């Protein structure tokens, strides 16, 4: 099969799930090209970007400005440039009579690839927000392709709150099939108008062979290391984990809290750390690659991911860093948020607390700090759960199966992936 991935920024360290799908398809003998809006940071990339020469497979399309005036001004330059290279397709992209709003909004013009000569079986939009580019890409470049869109979080929470419940109306009518990365978001997509027979849950998988579990016990020096990984943005709720550590440090001075990631809230979080007199034990480490993250987590005892619903409605699915921590055998603490309860079994592989509840978070942290005898048991449970439900090889096989069934026009008979059940243990 020949597959085109439609993405936003590529490469991006925080989106290893896209790289995992690309490389999984390549390993299975399929052809994959990546179409992105902008080039990401190439100074620190996932090793597979280099191993598989993914940048050689990546093509960058002009970003479509949200501002309509700016879109029109830049569109004039693009029109002239594309017309010189490929006048027929360029004029076709402006055919409002045939293509309606897609042409009038200039989405087709911004997606023209002059003298395009590739043929694709599948166009796979990574995130619902990329579906507008995907629909335009199919119309103007690959009309015979099947269009699949996967919803992952921001696209079905914040974006819908911002643009309204009908934002994906055209996509649901013209798209061929849909995926979500958790049951929580699948229910929401169906509520927005997607046919429930045309959508299944497809988890973001993990290559567990890269994550060798080590079941935790206290260090001889009694130092207990806690870690968080994530973008420093509101929905990651890192402020609350810092405040919880501040409560705990009054009783347990042997804590070290490392926060891996970067983002808009870095300065604000650094000020909070200083205001709470935590500079000696709470560190913002910036972005790290997969190898560096594994090295840090191998020295960590407890993992915290306190996702919250942001003011703009942005929510998380079962986040990959939680899977990675669980695969390494770490007990985890997270929140009753989005799709996370589908991953973390409360009281079995870790604990779940209400969003923004610093006291509850501090209480569970205290319990784990004071009961290291349960770390290994929780770590084994988490590792087993990730292996069973998020096995990357099985999920990549399943993705190929979805593609093939879609091409055979037989997808509606395809059984959806098995879903995790919720079990309870320690309270």
Residue positions counted in the chain: 427
Query: What does the pLDDT read at residue 243?
Result: 98
* Positive or negative: CA dihedral 207, 48, 295, 365: negative
Grouping H, G, I as helix, E, B as strand and the rest as coil, residue 160 is helix
Rounded to an integer, what distance in angstroms lies between the CA atom of residue 422 and that of residue 181? 17
More confident call, 220 vs 326: 326
User: Which burial class, exposed, middle or buried, applies to 214 when counting CB atoms under 10 A from its CB (0-12, 13-18, 19+)?
Assistant: middle
pLDDT, average across residues 180-185: 95
Query: What does the pLDDT read at residue 409?
Result: 77
pTM, 2 dp: 0.87
Could you check whether 2-61+113-201 and 208-387 share the same CATH topology?
A: yes
- pLDDT of 103 > 80? The answer is yes
pLDDT tens-digit profile of 283-329? 999 988 878 888 999 999 999 999 999 999 999 888 889 999 999 99
Topology of domain 208-387, CATH = Rossmann fold (3.40.50)
The tokens 């999920």 sit on which residue?
395
Of 61, 154, 143, 181, which Cα lies nearest the Cα of 110? 61
- pLDDT of 55 > 50? The answer is yes
More confident call, 170 vs 218: 170
* Positive or negative: CA dihedral 125, 126, 132, 134: negative
Query: What does the pLDDT read at residue 163?
Result: 95
Return the C-alpha torsion angle 373, 379, 385, 387, nearest 10.
Answer: -150
Of 215, 204, 149, 198, which Cα lies nearest the Cα of 389? 204
Q: What is the CATH number of domain 2-61+113-201?
A: 3.40.50.2000
Model confidence at 420, pLDDT cuts 50, 70, 90, reads very low
pLDDT tens-digit profile of 130-156? 999 999 999 999 999 999 999 999 999
Is the bond leading into 328 cis (omega within 30 degrees of zero)? Answer: no
Q: What are phi and psi of 169, to 5 degrees?
A: -55, -50
pLDDT tens-digit profile of 344-359? 999 999 999 999 999 9
Range with lowest mean pLDDT among 16-25, 246-255, 290-299, 300-309: 290-299
For residues 3 and 134, the answer to whether their CB atoms sit within 8 Å is no
Of 79, 12, 30, which Cα lies nearest the Cα of 396? 30
Neighbours of 373 (CB within 10 A): 9
Model confidence at 260, pLDDT cuts 50, 70, 90, reads very high
Cβ-Cβ contacts under 8 Å for 295 (sequence gap 6 or more): none
Model confidence at 220, pLDDT cuts 50, 70, 90, reads low
- Tokens representing residue 359 in the block: 């006291």
Domain ranges of the chain: 2-61+113-201, 208-387
């Amino acid at each position: 099969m020949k597959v085109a991935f439609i993405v936003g920024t590529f490469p991006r360290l925080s989106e290893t799930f896209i790289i995992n799908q690309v490389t999984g398809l390549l390993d299975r003998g399929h052809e994959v090209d990546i179409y992105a809006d902008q080039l990401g940071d190439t100074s620190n990339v996932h090793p597979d970007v280099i191993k598989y020469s993914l940048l050689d497979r990546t093509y960058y399309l002009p970003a479509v400005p949200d501002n309509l005036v700016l879109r029109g001004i830049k569109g004039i330059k693009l029109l002239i440039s594309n017309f010189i290279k490929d006048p027929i397709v360029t004029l076709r992209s402006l055919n409002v009579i045939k293509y309606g709003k897609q042409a009038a909004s200039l989405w087709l013009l911004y997606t023209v690839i002059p003298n395009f000569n590739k043929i694709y079986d599948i166009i796979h939009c990574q995130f619902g927000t990329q579906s507008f580019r995907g629909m335009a890409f199919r119309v103007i470049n690959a009309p015979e392709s099947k269009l699949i869109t996967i919803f992952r979080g921001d696209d079905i929470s914040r974006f819908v709150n911002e643009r309204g419940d009908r934002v994906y109306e055209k996509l649901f009518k013209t798209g061929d099939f849909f995926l979500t990365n958790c049951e929580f978001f699948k229910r929401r997509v169906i509520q927005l108008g997607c046919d429930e027979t045309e959508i299944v849950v497809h988890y973001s998988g993990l290559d567990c062979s890269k994550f060798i579990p080590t079941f935790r016990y206290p260090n001889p020096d009694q130092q207990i290391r806690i870690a968080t990984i994530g973008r420093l943005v509101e929905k990651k709720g890192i402020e609350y984990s810092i405040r919880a550590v501040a409560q705990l440090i009054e009783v347990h001075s042997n804590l070290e809290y490392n926060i891996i990631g970067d983002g808009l809230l870095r300065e604000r979080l650094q000020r909070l750390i200083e205001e709470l007199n935590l500079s000696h034990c709470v560190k913002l480490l910036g972005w790290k690659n997969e190898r560096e993250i594994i090295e840090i987590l191998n020295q960590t005892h407890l993992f915290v991911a306190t996702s919250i619903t942001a003011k703009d409605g942005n929510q998380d699915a079962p986040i990959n860093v939680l899977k990675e921590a669980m695969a390494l055998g770490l007990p985890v603490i997270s929140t009753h948020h989005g799709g996370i309860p589908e991953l973390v079994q409360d009281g079995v592989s870790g604990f779940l607390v209400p969003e923004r509840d610093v006291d509850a978070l501090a209480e569970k942290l205290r319990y784990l700090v004071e009961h290291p005898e349960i770390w290994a048991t929780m770590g084994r449970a988490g590792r087993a759960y990730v292996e069973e439900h998020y096995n990357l090889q099985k999920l990549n096989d399943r993705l190929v199966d979805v593609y093939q069934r879609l091409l055979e026009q037989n997808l509606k008979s395809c059984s959806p992936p098995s879903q995790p059940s919720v079990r309870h243990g320690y309270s």
